[in-house]
Amino acid sequence: MENPLSMHALFHIGPVPITEPVVVTWGIMLFLGLGSAWATRRLTMVPGKLQAVLEMFVTVIDDQIRDTMQRDPSPFRVLIGTIFLYVFIANSSAIIPGIEPPTAMIETDAALALIVLAATIFYGIRYQGLRGYLSAFAEPSWVMIPLNVIEQITRTFSLIVRLFGNVMSGVFVVGIILSLAGFLVPIPLMALDLLTGTVQAYIFAILATVFIGAAMGEH
Amino acid sequence: MTSDLIQIVSILAAAIAVSFGAIGPALAEGRAVAAAMDAIARQPEAAGTLSRTLFVGLAMIETMAIYTLVIALLVLFANPFV
């Protein structure tokens, strides 16, 4: 049984080992970047089919952010939308034979969660000021400072472990079933994986929104 | 010999951790979904907000089960004593 916590380098560029999740991640980045550039190269006032779909997608993301944060979604659309799209496509990439989703490796999830943590601090300081953001740690009284600091760490950690655990366990279960019975038997489980991946992408994006919204305080 | 024993104990520990760790979140998720169904039955127009909050809450509860899974994997694959 393959160890889900370790990785092998596919090849080396100079002294830097390149592993499979890195290659898949860059593939997804290329796909998303070129796909977005191609899909938005000819925008018109009267949308065609493709543009209508894209506009609907952006509207849905905007509505979710507005409902969760009770704020104007435009400053957060790029970050939250990109996180959702990346996690969604990464989780769904398991349906391509031979590709393991990069989110099934704890390093990818750690990077994503650290991006969310950095965004939390960035927006907190930007909207409340450094003083306001730091004094929010002492709410409702100074006794809560250690707990509030620990909360920042544990919720980042839980973001990492939640995404990692869900995606990795899906890959793992399909691997075990494949080694027992190969033909057609893993298909229901792979369908379940697609559902879990979509839900986890949504939850990751919504939790990022909730954390950023909480850091910005009341308005 | 000792290494074999440690591996046997590790597998037992992983099985126990996952099985007992799943009980709490299972009960909690059942209660949460039941409460959400109740709320939606009473107030169907709030279904959107309720289901979004339910999903986020379920993800939070589910994390507890995932923690035990990760600990089981650490015991099985990254055991410092083997």
Cβ-contact A201, A91 below 8 angstroms: yes
CA A189, A195, A198, A200 torsion-angle sign: negative
Is A17 a domain residue? no
Tell me: the pLDDT tens digits for A2-14?
A: 677 777 777 888 7
- Provide the Cα torsion A29, A35, A36, A41; round to 10°: 140
d(CA A11, CA B41): 57
In terms of pTM, does the model score above 0.90? no
Alpha-carbon distance B38 to nearest alpha carbon in chain A (angstroms)? 22
The residue range of the domain holding A145 is 42-97+109-216
A194: which residues sit within 8 A by CB, 6+ positions away?
Answer: A91, A92, A94, A95
Which of B63, B64, B79 is the mutation pick for testing A, counting most A CBs within 10 A?
B63
**Number of domains comprising chain A:** 1
Is A122 a domain residue? yes
Is A5 a domain residue? no
Cβ–Cβ gap B66/A68 under 8 Å: no
pLDDT band at A170; cut points 50, 70, 90: confident
Strands (E), A23-182: none
Cβ–Cβ gap B73/A4 under 8 Å: yes
Is A28 a domain residue? no
Is A31 a domain residue? no
Alpha-carbon distance A165 to nearest alpha carbon in chain B (angstroms)? 6
Q: Does B62 touch chain A (CB under 8 A)?
A: yes
Tell me: the pLDDT tens digits for A113-159?
A: 999 999 999 999 998 888 888 888 887 888 888 998 998 998 898 89
Tell me: the pLDDT tens digits for A43-81?
A: 888 888 888 999 999 999 999 899 888 888 888 999 999
Cβ–Cβ gap A3/B56 under 8 Å: no
Predicted confidence at residue A219, as pLDDT, reads 64
Burial A190-205 (b: 16+ CB within 10 A, else e): beebeeebebbbbbbb
Is A24 a domain residue? no
A164: which residues sit within 8 A by CB, 6+ positions away?
Answer: A103, A104, A105, A106, A109, B70
Cβ-contact A186, A115 below 8 angstroms: no
Cβ–Cβ gap A161/B74 under 8 Å: no
User: B-chain residues within 8 Å CB-CB of A68?
Assistant: 52
The pair of three-digit structure tokens given for residue A191, joined into one six-digit string: 């369908």
A169: which residues sit within 8 A by CB, 6+ positions away?
Answer: B66, B69
Question: Which of B49, B69, B78 is the closest to A5 by Cβ?
Answer: B78
SS3 (DSSP) at A19: strand
Tell me: the pLDDT tens digits for A174-193?
A: 888 888 887 888 888 889 88
d(CA A26, CA A205): 20
User: B-chain residues within 8 Å CB-CB of A207?
Assistant: 56, 59
Element (H, E) at A13: strand A9-13
Is A26 a domain residue? no
User: A-chain residues within 8 Å CB-CB of B48?
Assistant: 67
Is A20 a domain residue? no
Q: What is the mean pLDDT of residues B65-74?
A: 87
Tell me: the pLDDT tens digits for B25-56?
A: 999 999 999 999 999 999 999 888 888 888 88
